[in-house]
Amino acid sequence: MRFPLREDDISGSIPPRIKIRGILETVMTKIRVFLLTLGFLIVGFLGYFLILYARGYHLNLKTWKFQPKGILVIKTEPTGAQIFINADLKGASDSNFSLSPGVYDVDIKKEGFLPWSKRLTITKEIVTEASLSLFKSTPAFSPITFSGANFPVSSADLSKIAFSVLPAAGVEKDKIGLWVMDTSSLPLGFSRDPKRITDGDLTVATYQFSPSAREILLETGGGAFLLDTGNFIPQNQRVNIASQKITLLASWEKERTNKLEAQIKNLPKEFQEFLRRKTYSFSFSPDETKVFYTASASGNLSEKLIPPLPGSSTQKEERATTIDRTYVYDIKEDRNFLIEENGISPDRKLFWLLNSKNLVLADSDKIIIMDYDGTNRQTIYSGSYLAPHVFPFINSSKLLILTSLGSASTPNLYSLNLK
């Protein structure tokens, strides 16, 4: 006879070892779930804290609260300069600093270089960058030409300079003529000395570069001649193109106009019209992100011609422009800075250094370098020179100055090493 099994008989038939294993598995499952949940929570909290840190928030250990910060990034050329924030030494460039929102006086100092200073506004969760060049406080001065350099002119891209050597006592015959020099710096061992491209007496001559800087139009009493800037052409082999001069100059002007129109098209439409109608002249920076201009009429630039960018310059700008004053407009940041209240007269010259961060003002008795927003105006040369004949080297390391060093002798070109 068979009898049905009771429940307690079934449970009683399970070995103790199996019971313990089941209990352990249950416990381990709960532990794994707990650890997994804890891991998610830790990762979530860490991610949240990292996001806050990346946005500029930092934990205040006194209040145990996260407070918003801004990041100040300072990069200098050359590096290794001392960084002072509100007169306290904070470190050396290149460095990043986490600062509470506010206004700070930043000073950069390096032995042998002119100091740099600016008042910067730090905004929470925003990276403010100061990228700057330092210039020598006592730049080296050395001659480039020795037989004279008369009527120097530069190409539009500032890559070449042409000058003439005229007949004079003590000047050798093989030095007389038109010379061209490159303003780019080559590695050690490569010469960048001026090259003569034609001979002859050019006392009453004029010359100008083509837009590409590969040719020069030389005009003398004997006609007009197109010269290759890379080759020597004797006076008796020059070809007179006087009958083609008007056509040639028209083609060069068209080339310049087309290039300028292509640059202008990248500007906000309102500013395009402003440049065309209310300026005497304007010049784009080498990287085409900025333009300086002299106003020919008063005007007012509307706010937010482009959407504002985080970390834009916090320097004072002027949207209202006044006739005869010179300004710089930052295309990327839509900021307009006053550079010169008195404009630029014929005996003064304002031009870009090729780093697009600095402007050079060739004044009547001194040469000034400034930041593109008009701040940090520093006199790098004070003395006798034939203003406004100052020209930059392509890498911004030197300036060329026309001077006779105060004597009555023929002026020559001298290099002024800035770095």
Whether 191 shows a pLDDT value over 60: the answer reads: no
Three-point CA angle 239, 241, 244, nearest 5°: 155
Rounded percentage of the chain residues whose pLDDT exceeds 90: 66
pLDDT at 248: 97
d(CA 79, CA 90): 15
d(CA 148, CA 164): 8
Distances (CA, A) of 66 to 41, 56, 121, 202: 19, 10, 21, 74
CA-nearest of 419, 418, 414 to 161 is 414
pLDDT tens digits, 103-114: 999 999 999 999
Whether 330 shows a pLDDT value over 50: the answer reads: yes
pLDDT tens digits, 193-249: 899 999 999 999 999 999 999 999 999 999 999 999 999 999 999 999 999 999 999
Distances (CA, A) of 308 to 55, 82, 292, 334: 18, 31, 20, 7
- The pLDDT of 327-349, averaged and rounded, is 89
96 confidence band (pLDDT: 50, 70, 90): very high
Are residues 201 and 167 in contact, defined by beta-carbon separation less than 8 angstroms?
yes
pLDDT tens digits, 371-389: 999 999 999 999 889 989 9
DSSP-assigned letters across all residues of 98-149: EE-SEEEEEEEE-TTB--EEEEEEE-TT-EEEEEEE--BSS--EEES-SS--
d(CA 392, CA 353): 6
In terms of Cβ atoms closer than 10 Å to its own Cβ (0-12, 13-18, 19+), residue 265 is exposed
d(CA 387, CA 352): 17
pLDDT at 19: 64
pLDDT at 187: 46
pLDDT at 347: 79
pLDDT tens digits, 7-19: 444 445 556 666 6
Distances (CA, A) of 355 to 256, 285, 397: 22, 9, 10
Whether 65 shows a pLDDT value over 80: the answer reads: no
Rg (C-alpha) for the chain, rounded Å, is 34
pLDDT at 189: 40
In terms of Cβ atoms closer than 10 Å to its own Cβ (0-12, 13-18, 19+), residue 109 is middle
Ranges assigned E (strand) in 199-322 = 206-209, 215-220, 223-228, 279-284, 290-295, 299-300, 320-321
pLDDT at 47: 67
Whether 150 shows a pLDDT value over 90: the answer reads: yes
Whether 3 shows a pLDDT value over 50: the answer reads: no
